Structure 1
Amino acid sequence: MCFIRLKTKKKTIQTKNILKKVVKKFGGIKKWL
């Protein structure tokens, strides 16, 4: 159970980081517009 929970936690952290990167990219695009 704990091992599975750790795996899902890592995945959520990765997705959050990806979302942050995407938001940063869109923020940069908005600045240019």
Structure 2
Amino acid sequence: ISYFIVPIVAPVIGACAGAAIYRYFIGKNLPCNRCKL
């Protein structure tokens, strides 16, 4: 793997993982009925 690709790909993977974790752990517990996450 080329090391110049890591700073480009790692934030994208981290953002996707963070969004999935947020939706699974926090999004299900929000009291908002109008906005379905």
Which category describes the TM-score, using the shorter chain as reference length? 0.5 to 0.7
Identity %: 7
**After TM superposition, where is structure 1 displaced by more than 6 Å over at least 4 residues in a row?**
none
Greater helix fraction, Structure 1 or Structure 2 = 1
Normalising by structure 1, report the TM-score.
Answer: 0.55
Gaps of 5+ in 2: 31-37
Which structure exhibits the higher relative contact order, with contacts defined as CA atoms closer than 8 Å and separated by 6 or more residues?
2
Aligned residues: CA RMSD: 1.5
Normalising by structure 2, report the TM-score.
Answer: 0.53
